[in-house]
Each structure stands twice: as structure tokens, then as C-alpha cells.
Amino acid sequence: MTNKLFFRSALISTILSYLLIFVGGLVRVSGSGLGCPDWPKCFGRWIPPTSLEQIPAHIDPTAFNIVLAWIEYGNRMLGVIVGISILLMTAIAIIYFRNNNKIFYSSLLSLFLVIANGGLGAIVVSSILNPFIVSLHMILALFLVSTLSYLTIESYKLFNDAKFTNIHLSKKISLSLICLWIFIVVEILLGTGIRTNIELIAVDNPLLSKGELLDALNSYKYLHSILGFSLLFFSMYLCFLFKDDFFGLSKLLVFFIFGMIIFQIFLGELMIFFDLPQLVRLFHTWGSSWLVGIIIILYNTLHYEQSK
């Protein structure tokens, strides 16, 4: 009973965290990062104002936009919900899983990450959306969903042991999945770096179009595309490794990774040819975060057996 309880709490925390990444991306592409110019309140209120008359005298009323304020405040409230869900999950781990080092310490790590990222969210506002702080905020979110994905699959194993007993893991596959996870994180870092530099260039050159801002970047911007296509070939190699010996969830996940990488490349090309449309940017970032968690889950569906 406690195994299923922890699994459900880990699964809910993971889903909510991915939803938070989506809403966080929506905040960034909609320009809502300063929709609430103060923190943790919004225009000095626990509930965002709905009219100019509700704005305190010490805050510039021209900063008020009701849509942007509610988007940003919704992001904060969802962050609180995620924090509470992870706190409850960690409490379950402390009470019932102190002898299970994998679950116990990973739960503590997830709690630390969500608290650290919540604090970083406050710094994002106080730094007036410093692009480097915003990028770090995203990176911590990726480590959080990776940890939660690990907890979800590890707790699922506790009461579904039989589903993993016929799965074999070779060192070649193990190393390939570890490298793929690292390369995707690096790819996301390159992507956030490109976005950060575009925003910095836009500050000094506000009249440039989105396409011109992209052209103004240094040649390192091509590393993102090169690594993206490298990941495509890497995922094709993984599909080859899985073609004969694997069935069920594991094979489904590896082909999902392959398809998602293709889709991400497609979205990346759309961003280049159509001047970085905001909606494409949102799903490009969110889809990348899926890959990080799915690789963790795939690895741990296989890490149950000894090497060949």
C-alpha cells in the first residue's frame, strides 16, 4: 500500500513539474516575467489586482497588465502546488522509505531542488529578468524533473517487479543512454544560451527583427543545430540496438525518443525560417524537457538486470 502511495505521489509531482515547465515557458514567451513586479506578492497583493485603482501608490501603474499579471501569478501558484506535492512525497519517503537509499535520498534531493528553484524565481524578479538567472532557473527545473522521473520509475518497480525480470541491459546500451541524456542537457543549455544572447542583443538593438537578432549571433549558434542532428543519428543507433531484444515499454520509449528528436528538429527549423514564432519556442523548450525525463525512465526500466 505504501509503495503505491509513494508512486502516485511521485507521479503527480512529476506531472505537475512538467506542467510548471510549460507555464514557465509561457511566461517567458509572453513577456510575463515582470507581470508581477514584486515577489511573493503581486502589486503588493496576495491576489493580483483587476483594476488600476487596486495598485498601491508606491508601484508604477504603467507596469500593470492584467493578462501578464495573472499569467505570472499563475506560474507562482503552480510552483507552490508543486512544492507542496514534493514536500508530501518527501514526507512519505522519510516515514516509510528510510531504508531505501535510492528513494530516500532522491526525495530529499527533489525537495532541495524545488526549494532552490523557488528561491531562484524570486531572484529572477529582483534581477529584472537577468537572462543568465532565467536560464539557470530552467536548468534546475530539468534536474528536478529528472530526479522525479527517476523516483517515479523506481517506486513503480517496488510493486511491479515481475514486469522487469526479463529485461537485459548491456554496457553498450547503458553508456549510450547516459551519453544521450548528457548531450540533450548540453543541447538545451546551448538553446538557452542562444535565447539569452538574443535577449541581450535586443536590449542594445531594439529595432532589429527576430530574424536579424538571430543573424547577429556568433557562429556558436550552429553548434545547436549540429548537435541536434547528431542526436538524431545517436537515437537511430539506439533504435538499432533495441531492434531485436526489447519489447513493451522499453522499445516504445526508445522509439518515442527518436520521434521526439525528429519533431524537435522540425520545430527548430520552423523557428529559423519563420523568425522565432513564440508558440513554436514554447513547445520546442517543453518537448526538450520531456526527453530528459523519458531517458531517465528508459534507463531505469533496463537497469534492473545484469549486463550481458
DSSP 145-179: HHHHHHHHHHHHHTT-GGGGTT----HHHHHHHHH
Rounded to two decimals, the pTM is: 0.85
- Mean pLDDT for all residues in the chain: 83
Q: Span 161-167, mean pLDDT? A: 63
pLDDT at 209 over 80: no
179 and 144 part of one domain = no
By percentage, how much of the chain surpasses pLDDT 70? 88
Q: Residue 307 pLDDT > 50, yes or no?
A: no
Rounded Cα gap, residues 119 and 140, in angstroms: 11
Amino acid 128: pLDDT: 64
Is the pLDDT at 237 greater than 70? The verdict is yes
The residue out of 119, 140, 159 marking a domain boundary is: 159
Mean pLDDT of 68-77: 88
Higher per-residue confidence, 154 vs 218: 154
When pLDDT is cut at 50, 70 and 90, the band that residue 86 belongs to is: very high
Say which amino acid occupies 232.
L
Other CB atoms within 10 Å distance of the CB of residue 228? 19
Domain count, the chain: 2
Q: Are residues 146 and 238 in the same domain?
A: no
Identify the weakest region by mean pLDDT among 233-242, 260-269, 270-279.
Answer: 270-279
**Between residues 157 and 111, which one has the greater pLDDT?**
111
Last residue of a domain, one of 115, 132, 159: 159
Task: Provide the terminal-to-terminal Cα distance of the chain, rounded to the nearest Å.
Answer: 34
What proportion of the chain, given as a percentage, has pLDDT over 90?
A: 33
Are residues 299 and 176 located together in one domain of the fold? yes
Residue with cell 523506481: 154
Question: Is residue 35 domain-shared with residue 174, that is, in the same domain?
Answer: no
Is residue 164 predicted with pLDDT exceeding 70?
A: no
Q: Please check whether residues 1 and 129 belong to one and the same domain.
A: yes
pLDDT higher than 90, residue 285: no
109, 136, 159 — which closes off a domain? 159
pLDDT at 129 over 70: no
* 247 and 122 part of one domain: no
The C-alpha angle 12, 287, 256, rounded to 5 degrees, equals 85
pLDDT band (50, 70, 90) for residue 142: very high
Q: How far apart are CA 68 and CA 28, in angstroms?
A: 10
> Between these two residues, 106 and 71, which has the higher pLDDT value?
106
Contact criterion met (CB below 8 Å) for 279 and 287: no
